Structure 1
Amino acid sequence: MTSADMHGEVRDPELPGRLLVVERDQLIPWLRERADADFARPADACPGWTVRDVLAHCSSALLRAVEGRFEEGVFSPESNVRHIAERAGWTNAQIVDELERGMTGAGPVIAEAGGALDGLALGAWVHAGDVRAALGEPGAYAGKGLPYALELLVRITRERGHVALHADLDDMDEPLRLGDASGDRPPGRYIGDASTLVRLYSGRSVDAAGFELAGVQVGELNIIG
């Protein structure tokens, strides 16, 4: 990964698919070893949803990308609820199978979309962290996919004109420059670890004592919800 990549100056169309495949290879075998009771646990990061609901949401969204089914409102909250309900009669294994197919096949479709679907890959990776967090797994929002997720986060925040932030990460050699710094507002400043930064940008709970943030409010960073 080059410095230009991490600062969002070069768009790599294969990056979202690479993130999904790296996550697939970690997540799917781990899920297949879980007891059915684990799938019924609440996912605190997604109020009202269980682990199974989060996985069903991700598998549905990714498979729709693979199959090119982008009907109006396909990723709306109402659509998410409907797609989860459609899988109510499925076994947990069937949902994991569909998730594996989606994570395997969505990359080329996302690459060809010119950036419009890049957030789908990042969102799926964050939701994988939500599942790990719900089941008490250490390093829920870390792992092998974290560098790819950070690179994608830099690019997405830059392309969306998000608030500018200079991030000094405890666990990385180079700082990250996220968002659009072309305006009059000076960039905010973050000091902390990479996984906490991801939590902030995805609206997940964080330990306020574990990082420093100046020049920008926590709520301004959220791009996923």
Structure 2
Amino acid sequence: MATGMTTGDGAGVRDPRLPERLLLAEREQFVRLLRSRATDDYFSVRTCCPGWTVRHVVAHCAAALDRVLTGRCQEEGVFSPASNDRDIAERADWPLTRLIDELDRGFAEAGAVLADRTDGALDAIALGEYLHSGDVREAWRVGGAYGGRSVGPALELLAHLTYVRKSPALTAELGDRGTVRLGVHEGAGEGAGEGAGEGAAVYVGDAATLMRLYANRPLAGSRYELSGVTEAELVFFR
């Protein structure tokens, strides 16, 4: 995204291939990182997710995409804490190679399944996978956490999801990444086109910190300006 470009215009119109593009981009980068560090020492590192190590996060991500592929996202209580714990426990004895292979397959194939759904009800899973890859990068202190080369499609998907869920209107000024409009803006129709952004709250900072705000991730050490809305009002994933 170059300077002067705006992401979020047209956010009310779903791009069915957007989650797939994000998953494929993360497959190329994140799976390679996991395979390069597939040892118990690396996978036992604690993450910012309460009670979860890197292994727990990867198991959760692999299980979520497997549910997409096998049509098991409609079960009662799916993705609740109890459901997530069961999914992780089912994979507790798996070798790391098997766990990473399952995640790799999910990244490769789940996007097409999401695209075939006309309601877009599961599109947020792709964004969740991206954010959890950030949790792992953060735990390992490698670059690109909540940013990186996949941040473009991640921002586009966040703009659409915050529109669908009627989040507060926010205009995010991201420097050399341009402007992102999130939530529902005054006077914006389904296309959220011209005139969107009037009366919106304003964020000034980098894309990774913006992702942290919406994902309710730690903000220690970050620098940003936020006016017209509180951090708590922006939280998308709880």
The Cα of 1:171 is off from its aligned counterpart by 3.1
**Contact kept in structure 1, 2:209 and 2:222, CA below 8 Å:** no
Instruction: Verify: 1:117 aligned to 2:119, yes or no.
Output: no
Scaled by the length of structure 2, the TM-score of the pair is: 0.88
- Cα root mean square deviation, aligned: 1.9
**Contact kept in structure 2, 1:5 and 1:11, CA below 8 Å:** no
In 1, Cα distance between equivalents of 2:19 and 2:83: 23
Unaligned runs of 5+ residues in structure 2 are 188-197
* Pairing partner for 1:176 from 158, 176, 180: 180
The Cα of 1:6 is off from its aligned counterpart by 3.3
**Contact kept in structure 1, 2:7 and 2:181, CA below 8 Å:** no
Cross-structure match for 2:104? 100
Cross-structure match for 1:55? 58
**Contact kept in structure 1, 2:214 and 2:234, CA below 8 Å:** yes
The Cα of 1:19 is off from its aligned counterpart by 0.2
In 2, Cα distance between equivalents of 1:21 and 1:36: 26
The Cα of 1:213 is off from its aligned counterpart by 0.3
Cross-structure match for 2:22? 19
| Deviations 1:25-44 (CA, angstroms, capped at 9, x unpaired) | 0011111110321000101x
Cross-structure match for 2:140? 135
Unaligned runs of 5+ residues in structure 1 are none
Higher-RCO chain (CA-CA 8 Å, sequence separation at least 6) = 2
Instruction: Verify: 1:37 aligned to 2:37, yes or no.
Output: no
Percent same amino acid among aligned pairs? 49
Cross-structure match for 1:6? 8
Instruction: Verify: 1:146 aligned to 2:151, yes or no.
Output: yes
| Deviations 1:55-87 (CA, angstroms, capped at 9, x unpaired) | 000000101101111222221111001100111
What amino acid is aligned across from residue 141 of structure 1 in structure 2? Y
How many aligned residue pairs are there? Answer: 222
**Contact kept in structure 2, 1:154 and 1:178, CA below 8 Å:** yes
The Cα of 1:209 is off from its aligned counterpart by 5.5
**Contact kept in structure 2, 1:171 and 1:193, CA below 8 Å:** no
The Cα of 1:112 is off from its aligned counterpart by 2.1
2:176 counterpart SS class: coil
| Cα separation, partners in 2 of 1:149 and 1:124, compared to 1, 3 Å | same
* Pairing partner for 1:161 from 160, 163, 166: 166
Instruction: Verify: 1:193 aligned to 2:199, yes or no.
Output: no
In 2, Cα distance between equivalents of 1:48 and 1:87: 16
| Cα separation, partners in 2 of 1:151 and 1:68, compared to 1, 3 Å | same
Cross-structure match for 1:217? 230
In 1, Cα distance between equivalents of 2:85 and 2:92: 11
The Cα of 1:214 is off from its aligned counterpart by 0.5
Scaled by the length of structure 1, the TM-score of the pair is: 0.93
Instruction: Verify: 1:46 aligned to 2:59, yes or no.
Output: no
1:213 counterpart SS class: strand
* Pairing partner for 2:91 from 66, 83, 87: 87
In 2, Cα distance between equivalents of 1:86 and 1:17: 26
**Contact kept in structure 2, 1:4 and 1:10, CA below 8 Å:** no
